[in-house]
Structure 1
Amino acid sequence: MADSNITKNALAVSMKKLMEKKPFSKISVGDICEDCGMNRKSFYYHFRDKYDLVNWIFYVDFIERMDWSSCRNEWDMLEALCSHFYRERLFYQNALQVEGQNSFREYFCGMLRPVLMLLTQNLVEEGRKKEFYIAFLCEGVLGELVYWLREGSKITPEEFVEDLHDISLGLARKIIAEEAGTQNVIPILQNKEV
């Protein structure tokens, strides 16, 4: 088992190094193997493809190493995630650009959905509308995350999550006001206390 982790970690280090220099689409399995001095057979013994390697990197670097007990709520979890992306921004900026089946973007959306479900649990009824709302929020958060990383992360992870919190709160208040039949939206958006 230890040898397996040594090999996986060596491949991960090479992938991260390569992704800091060039786009994901320009990196081949051969490039990764050459960089760490391994053969393709070793790579395919551990990973299905380079997408699988990128997803594994996220899982090991963030999910396994995260101190979940330090999170008081979903927003703390999101802040920890953004802090991780901030520290590794060149890698994640590149990883999140790739779309499609097995991509990190798809994998990450799958991880983000349960967090968004918790954040919105009492806003929308279960069913089709809830799924639509979660998908909408997931794409919105993902789009802003990609923009934030691409623009050089000009604000801190804490500020970024605070902005996400504020816009989410404003939208939630608007939804609740509309459900209650209130159409005066401006005071709702101005009141940011929670």
Structure 2
Amino acid sequence: MNEHDSTRYLFAQSIKDLMAKQSLDKMTVTDIVKHSGMTRQTFYRYFKDKYDLVNWYFEKLADKSFRQIGNSSTLREGLIKKFTFLLNDKIFFIQAFQSKDYNNIENYDYQCILEFYQNIIRKKIGPIPDDIMFLLEMYCHGSITMTVQWAVSGMKKTPEDMADLLIAALPPQLEQLLSDL
């Protein structure tokens, strides 16, 4: 891990520690830098705000989980990895998914999975027809809504159950395009 990532992870650990005691929306950058022992200047060298930090950390999740779909994982395996990662950082993600800020992780996750699935579909069929795009947007919104509900209600279902439910909810036209990854 390079020095820049080490510093980013230090801030991520600080925000995770603080989330055990207070909500993300009430936390300040001052709280994060004070807890980390770093300076505000260093924080802002890497992140625009606390939500950017949360989204960066989530990006690391994406790289290790659902972005592996089609490369080294099936859709189910990638979703299980994603939910397992969320579960392993339970306090962090429960707090992060409760945020109502515009830059919150819910909006970020939606954009990530929408772009990811769009790229897969474009590789298979080229330009995405309007009807498929509608289904994809609807599915991604529903998927994120259910992920948030799962997280903020305590992550009671297993990652396998969540993956199976999200796959079962795929509209048939999307299932055809995404099932053989």
TM-score with structure 2 setting the length: 0.78
Instruction: Give the SS at the match of 1:27.
Output: coil
Residues of 1 paired with 2:98 and 2:14: CA distance?
A: 19
2:33 is aligned to 33
Per-residue CA distance 1:4-60 (angstroms, 9 max, x = gap): 333222111001111232211111000001111122111111111111111111223
RMSD value, Cα = 3.1
Instruction: Give the SS at the match of 2:169.
Output: helix
> Identity of counterpart residues, as a percentage?
27
Residues of 1 paired with 2:48 and 2:88: CA distance?
A: 27
TM-score with structure 1 setting the length: 0.74
Instruction: Give the SS at the match of 1:26.
Output: coil
Give the unaligned 5+ runs of structure 2: 177-181
Give the 5 Å matches for 1:97-116.
97-116=98-117
Residue 131 of structure 1, CA deviation: 2.8
Per-residue CA distance 1:50-95 (angstroms, 9 max, x = gap): 11111111223x2444593541x22221121111111112211221
Larger Rg: 1
Q: Is the CA contact (8 Å cut-off) linking 2:114 and 2:136 kept in structure 1?
A: yes
Residue-pair matches, total = 170
1:88 is aligned to 89
Residue 98 of structure 1, CA deviation: 2.5
Q: Is the CA contact (8 Å cut-off) linking 1:100 and 1:106 kept in structure 2?
A: no
Give the 5 Å matches for 1:160-171.
160-168=162-170, 171=171
Give the unaligned 5+ runs of structure 1: 177-194
Residues of 2 paired with 1:52 and 1:38: CA distance?
A: 17
